[in-house]
């Protein structure tokens, strides 16, 4: 082979470029996923507050409200957040 160093460095350059590009994609995908999980948690926590207000205003029976809140807290815990 006439140019072994050029071929070798070309392979290394392509390999590192590929790893950097896929690493940036994975980091962005993970960031978007974490943001979606946090938004889901925020919504579930807001819903718990709304249910408490609905019980106070007489719109929802406290038995149903407890069940709803337990389910929402279960979702929050399943997403990895402890209170």
DSSP 2-67: --HHHHHHHHHHHHHHHHHHHHHHHHHHHHHHHHHHHHHHHHHHHHHHHHHHHHHHTSS-HHHHHH
pTM over 0.75: no
39 domain-assigned:
yes
83 domain-assigned:
no
pLDDT band for position 79 (cuts 50, 70, 90) = confident
Q: What is the pLDDT of residues 25-75, one digit of tens each?
A: 666 777 778 888 888 889 999 999 999 999 999 998 999 999 999 999 998
Instruction: Indicate the number of domains in the chain.
Output: 1
40 domain-assigned:
yes
58 domain-assigned:
yes
Find the domain containing 22 and state its range.
4-78
12 domain-assigned:
yes
């Amino acid at each position: 082979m006439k140019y072994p160093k050029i071929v070798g460095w070309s392979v290394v350059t392509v390999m590192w470029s590929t790893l950097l590009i896929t690493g940036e994609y994975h980091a962005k995908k993970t960031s978007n996923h974490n943001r979606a999980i946090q938004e889901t948690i925020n919504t579930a926590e807001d819903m718990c507050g709304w249910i408490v207000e609905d019980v106070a205003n007489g719109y929802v029976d406290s038995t149903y409200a407890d069940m709803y809140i337990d389910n929402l807290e279960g979702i929050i815990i399943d997403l990895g957040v402890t209170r």
